[in-house]
């Protein structure tokens, strides 16, 4: 068996394109001691081309064809690859399908009941690993958090003075204007009109008005960031130099 050696650096950055479309994928970094067979397996994951049927063509940065990586046992570094060059993946299987018309071929569809009985589906994988909607512990935890958030929100008194303290903004003083569910925002919210233009809106959210105030004087915040109390409105000293 012939031996293949790495010609240059241990890794190479290459552009990837396919015969399926004219889009060039993001640049990928590969070790040069990777065999062409192993390279095809990696390319199969990002291009959808079959590793057994694909052909890999090598192009320079100027789109000049260098050759074909056709020896599955050879290492990538045994070919004249360099940073910035492009691997063009030609999939014979895809090309054949593109020449055929499958519009009139009956499509196989599964009913929800049949799909539920299969063991090799994404749904079964999520159930087995307790992911997303199939993680009962996380669902219960989320429900408890939402219930607590709603309880705190309901203690807010409309018309009360308040102080809003959050990590993403300075402490602000204002008046509670509304509370509850706001448009398509998740959870429960408190609408506050600030004494100064330190807000983000004018009392509207996604085209729906919840209270009246000037632009940039209103905001919707979480109840945990709101403290009700006797917070008098600060008087501006008009004689103070700015």
Q: Which of 98, 126, 144 is the last residue of a domain?
A: 98
pLDDT at site 140? 83
190 pLDDT higher than 70: yes
Distance, in Å, from the CA atom of 185 to the CA atom of 222, rounded to the nearest integer, reads 11
For residue 81 the two structure tokens come to 């690859």
Question: Is the residue at 220 inside a domain?
Answer: yes
Domain boundary among 83, 98, 113: 98
What total number of domains does the chain contain?
A: 2
Q: Which domain holds residue 89?
A: 11-98
pTM here?
0.45
Across 101-110, 125-134, 149-158, least confident range: 101-110
More confident call, 33 vs 9:
33
Residues 21, 91, single domain; the answer is yes
Asked if the structure places residue 141 within a domain, the reply is no
Handedness of CA 207, 212, 213, 214 (dihedral sign): positive
C-beta contacts of 98-105 below 8 A and 24+ residues apart: none
Q: What is the CATH number of the domain that holds 40?
A: 3.10.20.90
Q: What proportion of the chain, given as a percentage, has pLDDT over 90? A: 46
Per the domain annotation, does 168 fall within a domain?
yes
Q: Tell me: pLDDT of 7 over 90.
A: no
> Which of 62, 48, 47, 52 has its CA nearest to residue 17?
47
């Amino acid at each position: 068996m012939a031996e293949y050696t790495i010609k240059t650096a241990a890794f190479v950055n290459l552009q990837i394109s396919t015969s399926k479309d004219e889009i060039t994928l993001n640049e990928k970094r590969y070790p040069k001691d990777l065999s062409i067979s192993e390279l095809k397996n990696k390319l199969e994951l990002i291009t959808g081309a079959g590793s057994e049927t694909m052909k890999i063509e090598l192009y320079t940065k100027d789109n000049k064809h260098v050759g074909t990586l056709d020896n599955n046992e050879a290492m990538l570094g045994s070919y004249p690859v360099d940073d910035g060059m492009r691997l063009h993946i030609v999939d014979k299987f895809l090309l054949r399908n593109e020449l055929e018309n499958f519009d009139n071929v009956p499509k196989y569809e599964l009913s929800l009941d049949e799909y539920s009985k299969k063991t090799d589906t994404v749904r079964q994988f999520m159930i087995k690993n307790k992911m997303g909607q199939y993680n009962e512990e996380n669902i219960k935890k989320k429900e408890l958090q939402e219930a607590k958030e709603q309880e705190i929100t309901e203690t807010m008194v409309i018309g009360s003075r308040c102080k809003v303290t959050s990590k993403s903004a300075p402490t602000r003083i204002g008046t509670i204007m509304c509370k509850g569910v706001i448009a398509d925002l998740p959870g429960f919210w408190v609408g506050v009109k600030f004494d100064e233009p330190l807000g983000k809106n004018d009392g509207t959210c996604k085209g729906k008005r919840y209270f009246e105030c000037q632009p940039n004087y209103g905001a919707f915040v979480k109840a945990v960031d709101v403290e009700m109390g006797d917070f008098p409105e600060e008087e501006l000293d008009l004689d103070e130099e700015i």
